[in-house]
Amino acid sequence: MNVPEADWTTAVLWLAVVGSGIYHGLNPGMGWPLAVSAGLMNNSCRAVFGALVPLAIGHFLAMGGVLLPFGAVSALVTWQTEIRIAAGFLVIAVGLYLFVNRRHPRFLARIGPAHLTLWSFAVALAHGAGLMLLPIYLNLCRAEELDAGHIAARTLMGSNLITALEVSVVHAFSMIAAGGLMAFAVYQWLGPRFISKSWFNLDTVWPLSLILVGAVALYSS
């Protein structure tokens, strides 16, 4: 069977969307311990899920907030390569910034436990979680474009915006599935001891992930 190259690329990129979602979800900094806390505080399994919903919404909004503007400008067909290069540099720059500056932004600490959606949104934004997705997304747009041949800019923009939403949904869904599974396992079986046991310092790995994603984006553009 002969599978077109663009299909392979698309499949790999979607896998990357799901994979980065799992990575974000398992990072305690993105909120799964909040769901454990909610479950334990209310002594109810439903409270675990109750906390996961706003966390997922906040994460989705942070992804969409980064991808949609790029979706809008990516319709400028003649500048596609430049946009991808700029995005790659932006991701690397944020990665470098986070690598050097390990301080937790104070505004995050100002958000109380009653505002989980805002908290999840702000945390994802501050850690550049959406940026990690950006090169993957731009390449998805390119793959679709290659697949469809040259189409009208307006159609392309519409399709890119839909892709941005799709990517955000799929990513946020895999993020909350992974984080939710973790939260549920800790709540139900592993116990709170696992919270400190599973918490690794990603202060180095996380910015490096951004730099890596940005570098791959530059290479492939």
Residues at the interface with another protein (CB under 8 A): 28-29, 31, 33-34, 36-37, 40-41, 43, 102-104, 106, 108-114, 119, 191-193, 195-196, 199-201, 203
Q: Are 221 and 81 in contact (CB under 8 A)?
A: yes
Q: Which of 151, 132, 146, 153 is nearest to 67 (CA)?
A: 132
Maximum C-alpha span of the chain? 57
CB nearer to another protein: give 107 or 219.
107
What is the smallest separation between the CB atom of 178 and another protein, expressed in angstroms?
A: 16
Tell me the two tokens of residue 102: 């390990």
What is the smallest separation between the CB atom of 97 and another protein, expressed in angstroms?
A: 17
What does each C-alpha distance from 106 to 59, 109, 111, 122 come to in angstroms?
19, 5, 9, 11
Tell me the two tokens of residue 126: 């501050």
User: Within a 10 A sphere around the Cβ of 211, how many other Cβ atoms?
Assistant: 18
76 Rama class: left (phi>0) / alpha (psi -120 to 50) / beta:
beta
What is the smallest separation between the CB atom of 37 and another protein, expressed in angstroms?
A: 5
Cβ neighbours for 77, distance < 8 A, ≥ 6 positions apart: 145, 150, 153, 156
CA dist 143 and 149 (Å) reads 10
